[in-house]
Chain A
Amino acid sequence: MQLPLPAAPDYSQALRYLGVPEGDAASRALLECCAAPLWQAASPRGTARAVPTGQLPAELTAGRDIRLHLGDSPQTLLFAATLGPGVDALLRRLAATDVAAAAAADALASALVEQVCDEYETLLRQEWQQNGLYLTGRFSPGYGDYPLAAQPVLCRLLDTHRAIGLSTAPSCMLTPCKSVTALLGIGDTPRRGHRAGCATCALRTTCAYRKRGTFCDAEPTV
């Protein structure tokens, strides 16, 4: 389904992606210039489907972290969202003509897809709540020890190519690039899921956030 664009850009998140401290006015100004073309180029779409957890194919429950995340949730919500190919096209154009704007737009687009996912997740959470059911947060392939190889399987089960124009490349990368897939646990009691944590992350030895004593992500939404 088509998803609405967020009301306002999340400049703070984009600044973090650029590795820039919150107060830098010049960087913020650059991001603000990128917002309008980015909003115009984006056509966000999402799709989600619930499946009994026991019926998930093995590829989708590979590794320790995703199983911890789903816990005892009897159902699993398969989730996918994308900003669409127009954003990729804008980024390609900027890459050829304005490297500063390209980096800024790339960061802002990453922040935008997270915002779109957060809002879509909120919508889904409200729908499930009407039936007395609760969702965990999102857990995506690539987090912790959850292999990227889960991504093509997730896309196939959700038929994302037909539903929202999203596919995976042979490297398991999502195309269009500014897209997210995830699993959420569904159950009849409130549940948080499991934060991947630094111990199993692929970037644990080089992470700039870790060196500063913080984390790459904001607080969990639930």
Chain B
Amino acid sequence: MTLNQLFDTSRTTILDGGMGTMLQAAGLPLGVRPETLALTQPDLLERIHHDYAEAGAQLLYANTFGASEHKLAGTGYTVEQLVPAAIACARRAAADTGALVALDIGPLGELLEPAGTLRFEDAYEAFARTVRAGQDADVIVLETMTDLYEVKAALLACRENSDKPVLVSMTFEANGRSFTGCCVESFAAVAAGLGASAIGINCSLGPTEILPLARRLCACVPNAGIPVFVKPNRGLPRADGSGYDMTAEQFAAAMEPYKELGVSMVGGCCGTDTECIRLLAQRFAGFVPPLRKMESVSRICTPVRAVEISGPTVVGERLNPTGKKRFQQALREQDMDYLLSQAVSQMEAGAQLLDVNVGLPGVDEPALMEKTVRALQAVVDLPLVLDSSDPAALERGLRVYNGKPLVNSVNGKQEVLDTILPLCKKYGAAVIGLTLDESGIPAEAEARVAVARRIRDAALAAGIEAEDIYIDCLTLTASAQQDHVMDTLRALETCKRELGVRTILGVSNISFGLPCREYLNVSFLTLAMARGLDLAILNPNAEPMMAAVASYRVLSGIDAGSTAYIARYVNAAPAAAAAQPGQVSLEQAVEQGLKSEAAAAARRLLETTDPLEVVNAHLVPALDRVGQGFEKGTLFLPQLLQSAAAAQSAFEQVRVALAEKGGNPVSRGAIVLATVQGDIHDIGKNIVKVLLENYGYQVTDLGRDVAPERVVEAVRRTGAPLVGLSALMTTTLPSMRRTIELLRQENLPCKVVVGGAVLTPEYAAEIGADFYARDAKATADIANKLFG
């Protein structure tokens, strides 16, 4: 068996079956780690591998599934000891049949951030270590994966530390999603984009249950040269725990329907044995799989959301500092919460993708892009459009992005094409191309199409599929270049029809400099959609724009039965101003926890009152009254929080007003907050943050699972006189102690307040904290007393 034969889609490769089953049949006691057998019982492994090879298996998975450094901890063996030994067993067993040997890599057994505490980079390193130890294998297999982010870390580790082909299979539930919610289509897009040599499904289910998922996979794995493979379990587990419910014959018979899908590699997983593989090999001997029926679909995705671009799709434009003072301030302060709230609000308005631009003079754009992508994807599952002209920023964002992104943008300039297209190819991203080049923006449609053609050809040459190319024919401003408005539309139509690419436009530019911009934006958008616009970059919180898209979808038949349109508008009143039944004051809105009323009241007050006075004379006294009620027990935590949220929305208005004026932000003092290393419980800390911000403090929230060094760095950077640390678990209290020790060691003149359910005043004193806070209100009181 050669590598070419293995991956040849015009024949069927037979893979091996389950190792665990065979080991149990050989009497392996429960609790013995199977990976250690490579050194303690190599003959046993060799015999099992040999039996599979004799039964017809042409690729043997070495017994290295759990041989990662974390899983081997406590066994007394290292990755470097076990992996080569396991591969050697398989290699000896393969000698007389010429079967190939795979380094088998399973999941690390720990959830990656943000669900867990394992950082993407650390997962990468763990995989890289196993890959480096597995030099002697012919190929690498990543299998039984449930987390697409882990797949990415592993695939990058393989591609950057070896040049062996990589087969990747994920495991799904019957509903077509993995435990982490990853769908089949997102898996295919990401695995193919990152250079997998074969893509498949294994484990969890039997042949019958996997069949519909395999059919989907065959349709969505792009590129006919990539084989699709399956390794089902031997049916489903019996309820009494005694094994699986199919005989070997039933298993092999249930694999028969795979013949018509175009799957070109088959094997078995849990419960299967040499008999299953023997029967499978007989059935598929000499079988030539049909070509896979691949759909030609454009997709941008996150693990849980694969957005198919067919018909106008909305890209939210608001995460962009251009012309937005408040946003610029948030970027300078690295205020992730503000960015997140903008993202969520666009999502709730119906945006399908989000454009992300954090380019601002004076900020470290590459670092900020990475931080922003991480923060966004922890909270919002919309796919992202990474918007930057800095290749370093794009690369940082591309590396940590979980899914298949869209890069905004390249253009016709050779240098740009040469720098950015390879990045898109490496990270499996789709790409937007602007029809401008070294000589600027061509006025005439034909000239723009010519630039588009050059971009498309360069992208195809770089290995990017046509379905992943989006051409932006550039929206000019009607006020300055009225004669060429229609050129944009003509160019768009031609590109769509003749170049086989998708199209995108940022429509808002059309109305720059004219009054009632929305009328022009809506009309231009509608004209563009009628000419074949695929992606529309717009403000999803501007309802007339969303209405234009919703209407077009009805008129063009995309929204069959007008279902989506009706759902969006059936209960919406026409845009007449609702009667104002008497306005509440800011104090009343805060005390009653009324968020939008508080924002409105603050706006009114700011027309006549200085922002600082609004905070000190109105907001803070209202919060004090609420706080006292909480202490007395006349109101409870939910009301305290609702008041805090109302105060927050009022405070946001103060910030906006100050940003407009260019004034300094309100600050009673700087405070750093963090949930300590190893802990990701942060509800308490978040409540403290809101309360402190409402009292006018500038809070730097470092988030969860924060290393002591980061706390020290933040205190040094902000000069914060107070640090708040939280931990919920007894096992993470040592991290709290270490953090305080480091702060003292670095001679930082700050006080430390600690809180969390397991903390006591005694323990707080023992670890050197200055204050113990029983709850959020107590923390605020401590801060108020400290800052005077």
Map CB proximity to B onto A58-79 as digits: 1 under 8 Å, 0 otherwise: 0000000000000000000000
Contacts of A169 in B (CB 8 A): 110-111, 116-118, 678, 680
A99 and B687: CB pair below 8 A? yes
Chain A residues with CB below 8 A from B757, complex form: 203
Contact at B180–A165, with CB atoms within 8 Å? Answer: yes
Q: Do A96 and B179 have beta carbons less than 8 Å apart?
A: no
A98-114 vs B: 1/0 string, CB under 8 Å?
Answer: 11101110100000000
B515 to chain A, nearest CB (A): 33
Q: Which residues of B contact A20 (CB under 8 A)?
A: 636-638
Closest residue of chain B to A17 (Cβ to Cβ) is: B637
Interface residues of A in 128-161 (CB under 8 A from B): 142, 148-149, 157, 161
Give which listed residue, A85, A88, A89, contacts B179 with CB less than 8 A: A85
- Name B180's contact: one of A26, A30, A85, A142 (CB within 8 Å): A85
Q: Which of B117, B378, B732 contacts A175 (CB 8 A)?
A: B117
Nearest CB of chain A from residue B206's CB, rounded to whole Å: 15
Whether B337 lies near A168 (C-beta < 8 A) is no
Q: A18-B637, A92-B114 are in contact. Are A205 and B683 (CB under 8 A)?
A: no
Q: With a CB–CB cut-off of 8 A, which chain A residues contact B171?
A: 162
B379 within 8 A of A: yes
The listed residue (A2, A19, A95) touching B637 by CB distance below 8 A is A19
Please determine whether A84 and B729 come into contact, CB atoms closer than 8 angstroms.
Answer: no
What residues on B are CB-neighbors of A99 within 8 Å? 641, 644-645, 648, 686-687, 690
- In angstroms, Cα B762 to Cα A175, docked, is 30
With a 10 A CB-CB cut-off, give which of A24, A172, A175, A176 has the most chain B CB atoms: A175
Complex Cα–Cα for A24 and B679 (A)? 32
- Contact in complex: B380, A24 (CB < 8 Å): no
A210 at the interface (CB under 8 A from B): no
A94 to chain B, nearest CB (A): 9
Question: CB-nearest residue of chain B relative to A26?
Answer: B639
- Chain A residue nearest to B759 in the complex (CB): A206
Q: A95-B686, A99-B690, A102-B686 are in contact. Are A27 and B639 (CB under 8 A)?
A: yes
Q: Report the bound CA distance from A55 to B731 in whole Å.
A: 27
Mask of B733-763 contacts with A, CB within 8 angstroms, 1/0: 0000000000000000000000001111010
Is A97 an interface position by the 8 A CB rule?
A: yes
Set of chain A residues within 8 Å of B730, measured between Cβ atoms: 142, 148, 202
The answer to whether the Cβ of B403 comes within 8 Å of any Cβ in the partner chain is no
Given contacts A148-B731, A167-B116, contact A19 B378 (CB under 8 A): no
A100 touches B117 (CB 8 A): no
Q: Is the CB of B181 within 8 A of A85?
A: yes
The reply on B31 being an interface residue by CB < 8 A is: yes
Partner of B593, one of A93, A95, A100, A203: A100
B658 within 8 A of A: no
Task: Indicate if A164 sits at the interface (CB-CB under 8 A).
Answer: yes
A21 near B641: Cβ-Cβ < 8 Å: no
Q: Is residue A213 within 8 Å, beta carbon to beta carbon, of the partner chain?
A: no
Docked complex Cα distance between A171 and B118 (Å): 11
Closest to A82 in B: B179
How many angstroms from the CA of A173 to the CA of B681 in the assembled complex? 10
The reply to whether B636 and A24 form a contact with Cβ atoms under 8 Å apart is yes
Does A173 contact B638, Cβ atoms closer than 8 Å?
A: no
Report the Cα distance A168→B110, complex, angstroms: 6
B residues less than 8 Å from A149 (CB atoms):
731
A205-B762 contact given A86-B181, A96-B341, CB 8 Å threshold: yes
Indicate if A5 sits at the interface (CB-CB under 8 A): no
Complex: A76 Cα to B129 Cα, angstroms = 38
User: In the complex the two chains form, what is the Cα distance from A54 to B31 in whole Å?
Assistant: 14
A94 to B380, CA, bound (A): 11
Partner of B760, one of A24, A104, A162, A206: A206
Once the chains bind, are B379 and A96 in contact (CB under 8 Å)? yes
Q: Does B344 count as interface, using CB distance less than 8 angstroms?
A: yes
* Docked CA distance A98–B81 (Å): 51
* B508 lies within 8 A of chain A by Cβ: no
Contacting residues, chain B, for A103 (C-beta < 8 A): 637-638, 641, 683, 687
- The answer to whether A165 and B639 touch (CB under 8 A), given A98-B645, A205-B760, is no
User: Assuming A85-B115, A167-B116, A169-B118, is B144 touching A100 (CB within 8 A)?
Assistant: no
Contacts of A206 on B, CB cut-off 8 Å? 759-760, 774
Instruction: Report the minimum CB–CB distance from A127 to chain B (whole Å).
Output: 9
Q: State the CA gap A73–B109 with chains docked (Å).
A: 31
Q: Choose among A19, A31, A164, A171 the residue that contacts B679 (Cβ–Cβ < 8 A).
A: A171
The reply to whether A18 and B636 form a contact with Cβ atoms under 8 Å apart is yes
User: Would A26 and B638 count as touching, CB distance under 8 A?
Assistant: yes
Does B642 sit within 8 A of A, measured CB to CB? Answer: yes
A142–B757 CA distance with the chains assembled, in angstroms? 13
Contacts of B682 in A (CB 8 A): 95
Q: Given A57-B31, A164-B179, A168-B110 in contact, is the A173-B679 Cβ separation under 8 Å?
A: yes
In the complex, A101→B241 CA distance in Å? 42
The interface residues of chain A lying within 8 Å CB-to-CB of B146 are 161, 165
Bound-state Cα–Cα, A201 to B379, Å: 35
* A106 and B757 alpha carbons, distance in the complex (Å): 15
Tell yes or no: B381 within 8 A of A by CB: yes
A206 to B764, CA, bound (A): 13
Known contacts A57-B31, A106-B683, A161-B107; decide if A171 and B729 are in contact (CB<8 Å): yes
Contact with B along A186-213 (1 / 0, CB 8 A): 0000000000000000110110000000
A residues less than 8 Å from B641 (CB atoms)? 99-100, 103
A 29-59 contacts with B by CB, 8 A: 30-31, 45, 49, 55, 57
* Residues of chain B within 8 A of A45, CB atoms compared: 179
Whether, in the assembled complex, B340 has its beta carbon less than 8 Å from a beta carbon of chain A, the answer is yes
Chain B residues near A142 (CB-CB < 8 A): 730
Which partner residue on chain A sits nearest B204 by CB separation? A162
**Residue A177 at the B interface, CB < 8 A?**
yes
Q: What is the bound-complex CA distance between A173 and B679, given in angstroms?
A: 8
User: Contacts of B679 on A, CB cut-off 8 Å?
Assistant: 171, 173
CB distance from B119 to the nearest CB of A (A): 11
List the A side residues contacting B117 at CB < 8 Å.
169-171, 173, 175
B676-698 interface bits toward A, Cβ cutoff 8 Å, 1 = contact, 0 = none:
00111111001100100000000
A43 vs B111: C-alpha distance in the bound complex, in angstroms? 17
- Shortest beta-carbon distance from A8 to chain B in Å: 20
CB atoms of A100 and B344 under 8 A apart: no
User: A95 to B378, alpha carbons, bound, how many Å?
Assistant: 11
**Complex CA distance for A2 and B107, rounded to whole angstroms:** 21
Task: Find out whether the CB atom of A173 lies under 8 angstroms from the CB atom of B729.
Answer: yes
Find chain B residues with CB under 8 A from A98 CB.
Answer: 645
Q: Binary interface profile of B, 654-686, with partner A (CB < 8 Å = 1, else 0)?
A: 000000000000000000000000111111001
Q: Report A-chain residues with C-beta under 8 Å of the C-beta of B759.
A: 206
On chain A, the residues within 8 Å of B731 by CB distance are 148-149, 171-173
- Docked-complex contact A175 and B639, CB < 8 angstroms: no
The answer to whether A167 and B109 have CB atoms under 8 Å apart is yes
Q: Which residues of A contact B644 (CB under 8 A)?
A: 99-100
Kindly list chain A residues whose C-beta atoms are within 8 Å of the C-beta of B774: 206
Most buried by B among A88, A106, A165: A165
| Chain A residues within 8 Å of B760, by CB | 205-206
Chain B residues near A170: list those with CB within 8 A.
110, 117, 678
Task: Please report the C-alpha to C-alpha distance between residue A86 and residue B730 in the assembled complex, in whole angstroms.
Answer: 26
A-B contact pairs, 21 of them (CB 8 A): A27-B637, A30-B642, A88-B114, A89-B115, A89-B381, A96-B336, A98-B645, A99-B687, A100-B638, A103-B687, A148-B731, A149-B731, A161-B146, A167-B109, A168-B110, A169-B680, A172-B731, A173-B117, A173-B681, A176-B115, A202-B758
Across chains A and B, which 3 residue pairs bring their CB atoms closest together, nearest first? Answer: A165-B179, A100-B641, A171-B678
User: Which of A's residues lie within 8 Å of B, judged by CB?
Assistant: 2, 18-21, 24, 26-27, 30-31, 45, 49, 55, 57, 84-86, 88-89, 91-93, 95-100, 102-104, 106, 142, 148-149, 157, 161-162, 164-165, 167-173, 175-177, 202-203, 205-206
Q: A27-B637, A57-B31, A169-B117 are in contact. List 15 more A-B contacts (CB 8 A).
A: A19-B637, A26-B639, A27-B638, A89-B379, A98-B645, A102-B683, A103-B638, A161-B109, A165-B178, A167-B111, A169-B116, A171-B731, A173-B729, A175-B116, A203-B757
